[in-house]
């Protein structure tokens, strides 16, 4: 199935794409067909700079367990980081 479900969030930071580093403006998160990963569906994240065109994109396609592990690792890392550094 194509889930169509998409969450778009503004992000601030940088990503490294095919042509090097670029500033990020948005990320989209969706569970849908992957382009490359060998699975019917994956949790996909596109890190984008919508002002720089379609090629300004860093893409990942993760199976559900990997995506949950990554999300937990991100939150855990942030929780352990001294607040004065953030």
Partner 1 sequence: MTDTMRAGTVHIKGHGGDEIEAYLAEPVGEDGPYGGVVVIHHMPGYDRETKEIARRFADRRYLAIVPNLYWREAPGASPDDAAATVRAAGGVPDERLVGDVDGAASHLRSHSSSNGRVATIGYCSGGRQSFLAACSLNLDAAVDCYGAFVVATPPEGMPLKVGPVAHLAKGLSCPLLGLFGADDSFPAPAETKELETILTDAGKEYEFHTYDGAGHAFFSVDRPAYRPEAAMDGWEKIWDFFGRHLASARS
Chain-centre distance of CA 75, in angstroms?
14
SS3 30: strand
Q: Does 55 bind partner 1 (CB under 8 A)?
A: yes
CB 5 within 8 A of CB 31: yes
Q: Which span sits near partner 1 by CB under 8 A: 36-44, 62-70, 71-79?
A: 36-44
For partner 1, which residue of 12, 38, 77, 79 counts as binding (CB under 8 A)?
A: 38
Residue 71 tokens read as 């999300």
Residues lying near partner 1 in the complex (CB under 8 A) are found at: 1-8, 26, 28, 30, 32-33, 35, 38-40, 46, 48, 50, 53-55, 57, 59
């Amino acid at each position: 199935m194509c889930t169509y479900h998409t969450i778009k969030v503004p992000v601030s930071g940088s990503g490294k794409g095919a042509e090097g580093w670029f500033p990020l403006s948005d990320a989209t998160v969706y569970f849908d067909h992957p382009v490359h990963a060998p699975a019917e569906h994956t949790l996909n994240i596109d890190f984008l700079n919508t002002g720089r065109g379609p090629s300004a994109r860093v893409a990942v396609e993760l199976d559900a367990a990997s995506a949950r592990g990554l999300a937990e690792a991100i939150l855990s890392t942030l929780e352990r980081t001294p607040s004065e550094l953030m």
